[in-house]
Chains A and B, each alone.
Chain A
Amino acid sequence: MFQLTTRSLVKRPGSFVAGFLAVFFGAAMVMAFGSLLDTAGEPGVPDQSKETLETMAFVVGGWGLALVVFAVVSTMSLTVRQRAREMALLKSIGATPAQVRRLVVGETVALAALAAVAAIVPAMGLGQLLFEALKETGQVDEGVSHAFGPVAITMGMVNAMVAAVVGALITARRATAMRAAEAMADASGAGGDEPLMGRARWVLTLLALLATAGSTTAVLTVLDGEGTDVMTGAGPAVVAASVTMALLAPVLLRGVTLALGWALRLLGGVSGELAVRNVRQRTGELARAVAPVALFTGTAAGTLSMQRVENLRLRADGLVADESSQTMETMNYVVVGIIVAFCCIMLVNTLVSATSFRRREFGQQRLAGATPRQVFLTVGLEALLVAGTGIVAGLVAAGVGLLPFGQARADAWVPDDGWVWVIQGAVVAVAFLVTLAASIGTARRVVRRSSAVEAALAA
């Protein structure tokens, strides 16, 4: 088994790129925030600075951790899923479920370890950047210097490993629970008869929903009117709501497709029909792309617009002098920006990986007589459904965080500031463009590189 593990990692690096990137960026982000704890632990750091550093690491780093776990689990299960056929093959030549599981987990651990180690150097830079921003805004004493040490590395490594192994186990369980023949049929890509969401997913959704409800309640009760502390409840609320939406992605996508299918058929003709058919038959698979869109839109629109309200409030209260209020604002955006950038990277990562995997299907469409343009149009319309579902879900999640935050922080449910809506609009535009560009761009590359022949005959 070990030999198989190393062979499959070395011989086909392409199929592991998405998983590697997810762990790499995730670990870099976690380590960067973790290094703030290393810094706080250095001897001679004044209490005030120590507290700021710890709050930043725990609160903001904490939401980041939730995002990283979700992103890595989702990408890992996508990577493993794409190899369903290979697993079926292994089972058919006599591998026991335990052996298949060991193979998948072994590969994943090796991959995650490599990615996490590779993330150390970039994480040092990112941590330094975060620290400098804190120092420049006067939240940390001039005398303190940045440290990157055991806490950062341990947090990053443990997080990467746990998330990767959980992701691998979830999918390996699915692959190994099936009989070999079923697995072969499933690998043909017809989409199974299984329910949209398994029991475990419903349980997780419920947990995420409870977390959302809990933090929102805290914002509206204990934290109401507590100044800058409101954010410590509202931030997690946005992330929890976004994760809830991402978990619900299959159900949401099914609903949106049912509601808007006719319009797509009307607009897109045969391409529209194919797109709707594909989404309906493969809701589970395409929902993997909806999840990062929802996560990106929710966290970006939610945290950025809350930050805007927070900044306005700080300025109105005159708590900070005008000039430093500017830097404070920049600082806040740096922190939120890191998280948002991570979500955006995950979005592209998932879409590129999911679309590349459809090479054979595109070839089959070509052979049935579809021109390249008809294939792109189909992919584009599918992306439209995916983006639309994710964006609406993300905006709902952002609202769940933003409205109570506005009430608790500024006594107004709906923020009375045009920029908040500009931010939300910009986030929507980015989510939309990135989804479309990543899907169609990858489809173009795949269809170009593989002429119809290659795809059909590489059966």
Chain B
Amino acid sequence: MFRVTDEAVAGAPEALRLVSVSKVYGRGGGDETAVKALDGVTLSLPTGTFTAVMGPSGSGKSTLLQCAAGLDQPSAGLVVVAGAQLAGNSEAELTRLRRQRIGFIFQQFNLLPTLTVLQNVLLPSKLAGTKINRAKAVSVLERLGLGQRLRHLPAQLSGGQQQRVAIARALVTEPEVVFADEPTGALDTRSAREVLGLLTQAVRDYGRTVVMVTHDPVAASYADQVIFLADGRLAGALQRPTAEEVAERMTRLGAWDAEDSPVAAHGVGV
């Protein structure tokens, strides 16, 4: 069961809130093998915003996304999605909560290979047993330029097209938050730009909330704000970021050696 906390309901429209979220892998109790992937992360994201999460490898950004999206259980702390707390539930209950409130976009698309484009987009509503709005699914797919591809299988599409199908699938149920894990990681520059444009559009025009994990400063520059993570802790934020600013900050966090920086050699790492 999820509880609607009074506190969350009373606040301003808030899509996602994390309160002191920690995640420890391995055995606890001071064991040497235990790894603290997240260490007391607290943040709040208003509805209708586009946030990028960045950090060096192993900084805990994927763990953050998985805990926030209910794909993994935090070891401690609270996760609240649009007023509903994600915690201590069974897998089936978590699934129900996820499919009502959360949409996903992955680097590897994760479309079901045996279903057509349209069937993939309709699947979440079918699984949830909600009324299936076929016309809406078709119109979302048309808007994403896939009107001619409704009956194709994912394997018959390019990477960029598959990712657009995944976006349609994530948006069609009108979730409170869309989580995107390296959504452009497997795409060429042009398809990546298209995908980022679509995510921005979902936020601007349709008021969705998007949280995107990425390691690409250019991708991050499409967001309203960038949150930086290092060693499982928040390490600052940037509003209205540019790719250069993001790259510089990443370099300072030790994500890259100066010469490896994807944008330019901006000074030397710490």
Interface residues of B: mostly helix, strand, loop or mixed?
Answer: helix
* Least Cβ–Cβ distance between A454 and chain B, in angstroms: 9
Question: Of A189, A361, A369, A372, which one neighbours B124 at CB under 8 angstroms?
Answer: A369
Within 8 A of A (CB), among B48-75: 62, 66, 71-72
Minimum-distance CB pairs A-B, first 4: A369-B99, A459-B108, A190-B155, A281-B114
From A276, which residue of chain B is reached at the shortest CB distance?
B114
Within 8 A of B (CB), among A328-367: 361, 363-367
Chain B residues with Cβ below 8 Å from A370 are 95, 127
Counting chain A residues whose Cβ lies within 8 A of the other chain, the interface size class is: 20 to 34
Task: Kindly state the separation between the CA atoms of A351 and B27 in the bound complex, as whole angstroms.
Answer: 34
Check B113–A368 contact: CB distance below 8 A.
no
Check B72–A453 contact: CB distance below 8 A.
yes
Check B114–A190 contact: CB distance below 8 A.
yes
B34 within 8 A of A: no
Q: Among A368, A370, A456, which residue has the most Cβ atoms of chain B within 10 A?
A: A368
The proximity string for B residues 154-193 relative to A, scoring 1 for CB distances below 8 Å and 0 otherwise, is: 1100000000000001000000000001000000000000
Check A369–B95 contact: CB distance below 8 A.
yes
Identify the B interface with A (CB < 8 A).
62, 66, 71-72, 91-92, 95-96, 98-99, 104, 106-108, 110-115, 119-120, 123-124, 126-129, 153-155, 169, 181
From A360, which residue of chain B is reached at the shortest CB distance?
B110
Check A369–B127 contact: CB distance below 8 A.
yes
* Least Cβ–Cβ distance between A7 and chain B, in angstroms: 26
A-B contact count (CB 8 A): 87
Chain B residues with Cβ below 8 Å from A457 are 62, 106, 181
Q: Among B62, B95, B98, B99, which residue has the most Cβ atoms of chain A within 10 A?
A: B95
Task: Kindly state the separation between the CA atoms of A185 and B108 in the bound complex, as whole angstroms.
Answer: 13
Check B71–A374 contact: CB distance below 8 A.
no
A145 within 8 A of B: no
Chain B residues with Cβ below 8 Å from A374 are 127
Check B112–A364 contact: CB distance below 8 A.
yes
Check B169–A282 contact: CB distance below 8 A.
no
Task: Kindly state the separation between the CA atoms of A364 and B107 in the bound complex, as whole angstroms.
Answer: 13
Chain B residues with Cβ below 8 Å from A366 are 95
* Least Cβ–Cβ distance between B60 and chain A, in angstroms: 14
Given contacts A281-B113, A456-B108, 15 further A-B contacts (CB under 8 A): A188-B113, A190-B114, A269-B129, A273-B126, A282-B114, A364-B110, A367-B104, A367-B110, A368-B120, A371-B92, A371-B95, A371-B96, A453-B66, A453-B72, A456-B110
